[in-house]
Chain A
């Protein structure tokens, strides 16, 4: 049975193909104009499943670099989702889409990976890719053997070594009488199960073999939990169970080995490390490498028919030391040449949680990834699910790197993007980041991502009291994880169970966000469509991610605090600036007030005299109105200067702004015997800036210039204010005085806070200038003039206010 949600989810890959097809039509085939280059060859990889599985990744990781060392090959990948098996209508749609997608593109080679993909290709080759040669990989030997491949197809067969693995099991556990073979319902599952059955047929005499094919996972786990001691479990493949739940093999292996009462053996390197004892394991990497070699020869012009089908040779006896110990199996009974892994603490275990800061995390993750890569290339063997781990590690390293440099303003956006990316990777339906209040009594979902079609309302409104057990766990620093709601404690988590059921949550994992030992929130991922298990290592990685998020959030809190302080400081700076300007401002206000009063008195006298000249009276009243406006302007300018607030960007014409500020300080300049000269460029492009803050910048620089000329001769006190375009991208404002200049030893420090040469200065004026200009993405500069005095300048990037 499938729920409507899972149906819609599964239709997505088809939709994606359609989108890709449309994009391809819009963009046309890639071309390289102007230069003669090697033609780009197009290779299409066909995968049988709907997802990027660890095994497929191992193949692709080997094919991609080998096939395309210099960008001369364009690789396309198609996930055929053949698990649908008998759905004829679906298959028809896939074929139609593929035909449309590749209609306008010359395809040079098809590479089906795994037998179901090869079978699909063989069935539909005539209509999809007529005459295009093919090199297949990882198609199991027995299925390919005897097929008529024709002259255009060659490839690499996947040897099936179940016989060898069962021999090892019998050697390790001589009393074994029964073997349980586990497989799922996907095309790949069925295909591999058939291969296993073929291999194991000859052991029927010695061992009783039972096939548990396509059992629902819950029943399967119950079954393996109670197996008698004379039994071994052989894990073949479980990509999909009968209930439609999807797994990767490593996930399924983890679930089964954890539940199983007896040792479990596998057949692929991707199983090792997830709980299997070991076995004769196949390397998908080797499959990819061999297939890539063949593909290169075909692309080089050789006929596939002339290249015999080869068998992947790199299978090896590989075992997990921890599992051998767990089951008390003697390593001395292993076949000669066996590789035993996990003899020491794993690399994963070496990295503790004491990593402080995202930067350190990046380094750690990079080292981790590099270490794994070295190990990988050194041994030429992938560990179980190495590819998938690496992908997840890479994803986390990228996220950690992103968050180590993300600015406060982008944090929300980046967190949501990261949640979406990780949720996509994990295949879950929603993810949330919750912040707890400082008293930990309330919580707020600050970021969330939900799969399409999900109703965000219930999650957004979820109260702490609705999942008290989970919250208590998280507050205690513990992870909450369940594959099924039933896994939650029946008594303790009764309320939680109810809530999760009401929300339709089947599985969930939540890790606490910890900052300096205090839990400040939680990061949660939930699956609604299907139940799914959460592997330990993923949970550990999520905890790492939680550290990154916690770090980012606390850094943002600090940034916001810093911003608030800067605003306060800027405000204080302005207030003190205005204090310095009191004389000037009083003058500014007094002039219009004087004129208004004198005019009013004049008009009263005229009226008292009884022989009013109305034209004269009218002129006087007009003057009064004009001066009143002038006074309001002064007050307005003063108010805007004293305004305290957040950065509000608008389009600012710097020439206009400098002119305004110059008028504001004109009185002060007169008082100080300074001539202010303006050289303001007309038609400057606007900058996106906070007008009030920039007024303050210009004001501070002017006052600084006036102060610098305090001891200059009266006639030589000149302050030159200039605006100009600087290069393509910015506007520069310079304030040039004819004062004492800057001591050469001080040039580098004039913008430092509390640095002052004035007896009564606080030393904040230029520091505020620098802080404001830099907050606007600009830069400040101070230098001495060749002759006399100093020039202070700043440049701001040109830009319109963002809509």
Chain B
């Protein structure tokens, strides 16, 4: 079974523009879904698969920039290609800082549009994969007991068992037992792998 085709979500208040862009991305091998406003798009069930947003900057009601902000706040990973009738520097800077893949001016150059969509879909896939890894690590971390979590946090900083025991006021032997449980629960084969997982899960940054 072939992998699902990426979906391009076209959000533009102009029906004609919406329809034509949806048509164009379909001919380029994507699925297309079109929405007349930000609210309409947000009403749709959250999308987890590969795809991207083709988003008009200014629309009646909530703007494209508003949607970008909402997605980031809810940690929904869907890369955005902004399109605008009138490119102003202010909104393009905001868009790019917010992680937009590209900021294209209408009417759209076919090559530039499809390149941007390809990149955006790729980035969405990457980000969603990364998101998956983080989620997995976090779910492992969630199984640790408070003491195990303490030991884990200190192990990845490079402390020896003896030092950890002294820091936590427990026997070195006990530290050793906790450490083995941590390696097991985190599904890590080596200390190096455990350190990497801690980075993915944000543990190092959290305790730094």
Contacts and interface: CB of A to CB of B under 8 A. Distances in A.
Interface of A: 583, 586-587, 590-599, 601-602, 605-606, 609, 620, 623, 626-627, 630, 667, 670-671, 675
A581 to B, nearest CB: 12
A609 B27 contact: yes
A462 to B, nearest CB: 64
B40 interface: no
Contacts of A592: 16
B69 to A, nearest CB: 15
B85 A587 contact: yes
Nearest to A676: B60
Nearest to A593: B107
Contacts of B107: 590, 593-594, 596-598
A667 B56 CA distance: 13
Interface string B147-183: 0000000000000000000000000000000000000
A595 B108 CA distance: 9
B5 interface: no
B59 A598 contact: no
A605 B58 CA distance: 29
Contacts of A583: 86
Contacts of B110: 597, 601
B28 interface: yes
Contacts of B184: none
A675 B60 CA distance: 8
Interface stretch (B18-26, B44-52, B132-140): B18-26
Interface residues of B, number: 21
B17 interface: yes
A591 B24 contact: no
Nearest to A675: B60
A595 B17 contact: yes
B58 A671 contact: yes
A799 B14 CA distance: 38
A717 to B, nearest CB: 12
A602 B85 contact: no
B86 A602 contact: no
A602 B23 CA distance: 6
B60 A670 contact: yes
B86 A598 contact: no
B108 A594 contact: yes
A541 B138 CA distance: 110
Nearest to A667: B85
A591 B85 contact: yes
B16 A670 contact: no
Given A586-B86, A591-B85, A591-B106, A606 B20 contact: no
Contacts of B21: 594, 598
Contact of A594 (B23, B28, B60, B106): B106
A609 B21 CA distance: 18
27 contacts: A586-B86, A587-B86, A590-B86, A590-B107, A591-B14, A591-B17, A591-B85, A593-B106, A594-B21, A594-B108, A595-B16, A595-B17, A595-B19, A596-B107, A598-B20, A598-B107, A599-B20, A602-B23, A602-B26, A602-B27, A605-B24, A605-B27, A620-B23, A627-B20, A667-B85, A670-B59, A675-B60
B24 to A, nearest CB: 4
A595 B20 CA distance: 5
A264 B27 CA distance: 115
Given A596-B107, A620-B23, 19 more contacts: A591-B106, A593-B106, A594-B21, A594-B85, A594-B106, A594-B108, A595-B14, A595-B19, A597-B20, A598-B17, A598-B23, A599-B23, A599-B24, A602-B20, A602-B23, A602-B27, A605-B24, A627-B20, A675-B60
A267 B85 CA distance: 97
B101 to A, nearest CB: 18
A626 B16 CA distance: 9
A592 B14 CA distance: 9
Contacts of A593: 106-107
Q: Lowest 4 A-B CB distances belong to which pairs? A: A598-B20, A605-B27, A590-B85, A594-B106
A623 B58 contact: no
A596 to B, nearest CB: 7
Contacts of A599: 20, 23-24
Interface string B1-45: 000000000000010110111011011100000000000000000
B127 to A, nearest CB: 27
A587 B17 CA distance: 12
Interface in B39-96: 58-60, 83, 85-86
A429 B108 CA distance: 77
Nearest to A616: B23
A551 to B, nearest CB: 55
Nearest to B83: A594
Given A586-B85, A591-B16, A601 B106 contact: no
Contacts of A598: 17, 20-21, 23-24, 107-108
A311 B85 CA distance: 101
Interface string B99-119: 000000011101000000000
B160 to A, nearest CB: 59
Given A606-B27, A670-B58, A670-B59, A594 B20 contact: yes
Contacts of A667: 85
Contacts of B28: 605
Contacts of A596: 20, 107
A675 B61 CA distance: 9
Contacts of A675: 60
Counting chain A CB atoms within 10 Å of each CB, which of B21, B83, B106, B110 scores highest?
Answer: B106
A594 B17 contact: yes
A569 to B, nearest CB: 29
Contacts of B26: 602
A753 B59 CA distance: 36
Nearest to B23: A602
Nearest to A609: B27
A602 B24 contact: yes
Contact of B20 (A586, A623, A671): A623
A586 B86 CA distance: 7
A625 to B, nearest CB: 11
Contacts of B58: 587, 670-671
Contact of B16 (A605, A606, A609, A627): A627
A586 B27 CA distance: 28
B19 to A, nearest CB: 7
A587 to B, nearest CB: 4
Contacts of A671: 58
Counting chain A CB atoms within 10 Å of each CB, which of B16, B58, B59, B108 scores highest?
Answer: B16
A590 B106 contact: yes
A606 B24 CA distance: 9
A422 to B, nearest CB: 66
B14 to A, nearest CB: 5
Counting chain A CB atoms within 10 Å of each CB, which of B21, B26, B28 scores highest?
Answer: B21
A671 to B, nearest CB: 6
A597 B23 CA distance: 11
Nearest to B88: A583
Contacts of A601: 24, 27, 110
A597 B108 contact: yes
A605 B108 CA distance: 15
Nearest to B109: A597
B57 to A, nearest CB: 10
Nearest to B26: A602
Contacts of B60: 670, 675
A627 B28 CA distance: 22
Contacts of A602: 20, 23-24, 26-27
A603 to B, nearest CB: 8
Nearest to B105: A590
B83 to A, nearest CB: 8
Counting chain B CB atoms within 10 Å of each CB, which of A591, A606, A630 scores highest?
Answer: A591
A606 B25 CA distance: 11
A602 B17 CA distance: 12
B124 to A, nearest CB: 22
A630 B14 CA distance: 12
B82 to A, nearest CB: 13
